[in-house]
Amino acid sequence: MAKIIPNLSVDCVIFGFDFNQLNVLLVERKLDDEKTGKSLIDDWTLTGYHIFEDENFDTAAARILKGLSGLDNIYLEQFYAFSRLDRVNSPNDKLWLDHQSEGFSERIFTVGYFSLIDNTTVSISHNDRNVKWFPITDLPELGFDHKEILEKALEKLRAKLRSEPIGFELLPEKFTVSQLQRLYEVILGTKFDRRNFRKKVLQMKYVIPLDEKQKGVKHKPAQLFIFSKEVYEKTKTERFDFSI
């Protein structure tokens, strides 16, 4: 079996959307004193691990995502490499890494990936640790430099959302304009005028209206739409704008 590379890891910032909030997946980092049972560490981290000698960064991140979701076609994008000298050196971080005793270096560099998951259909589980979705507006204490990594991921996600239609990865195949609006609002932290937003979406050739409405909702069922990556790619040059 391949060995790990002692000073290199990947960390995955897995974003999920549940029609209401933007969430991030965290794993619990829990360590109790073996004799007294007293809690030594109890906080949360992103999901990540060292890369193996026969992997590159992409395949390591895909391995982690597959381990959590069983899927290999999840949107995954490398966004930044982190290298702060003391990034894994807090007392809790050192205690945790020593306890793993897996031959990690004292200084670990990590490459961040963000992933976009439709919270309502993809289910996530971890072999031996608790995993949980947290709204990005209400996060627990994070270990290592994972607060910094998460903030950078959000910054990159926002920039990308403004220039490419990646938001659809967070929605089910069929969605309503209101769901799309809510998604953009929670990620960008802003509010849009309902009529203007709708008007703009209806102008996008790559957001295709279906002859189908929502089912099983209490309110008046809304029209459903799908996103066409094919139409998006075809009409890319038409939408070209040299600067905003």
Nearer to a copy of itself by Cβ, of 1 and 85: the residue is 85
Is 85 one of the binding residues for a copy of itself (CB under 8 A)? yes
Does the CA dihedral 76-81-84-85 come out positive or negative?
Answer: positive
Nearer to a copy of itself, 26 or 60 (CB): 60
Closest to a copy of itself by CB, 7 or 130: 7
Give the closest residue to 82 by CA, choosing from 14, 159, 160, 13. 13
58 lines the binding site for a copy of itself (CB under 8 A): yes
**What single DSSP character describes residue 220?**
P
Nearest-angstrom CA–CA distance, 131 and 124:
8
Does residue 188 bind a copy of itself (CB under 8 A)? yes
Min separation Cβ 40 and a copy of itself, Å: 29
Structure tokens at 241: 């704008």
The site string for a copy of itself over 11-40 (x = CB under 8 A, - otherwise) reads ------------------------------
Q: How far is the CB of 111 from a copy of itself (least distance, A)?
A: 5
Q: Read out DSSP for 154-206? A: HHHHHHHHHHS--GGGGS-SSB-HHHHHHHHHHHHT----HHHHHHHHHH-TT
What residues make contact with a copy of itself under the rule CB under 8 A?
A: 5, 7-8, 51, 53-54, 56-58, 78, 80-81, 83-85, 107, 109, 111, 159, 161-163, 165, 167, 184, 188, 190, 192, 197, 200, 204, 239-244
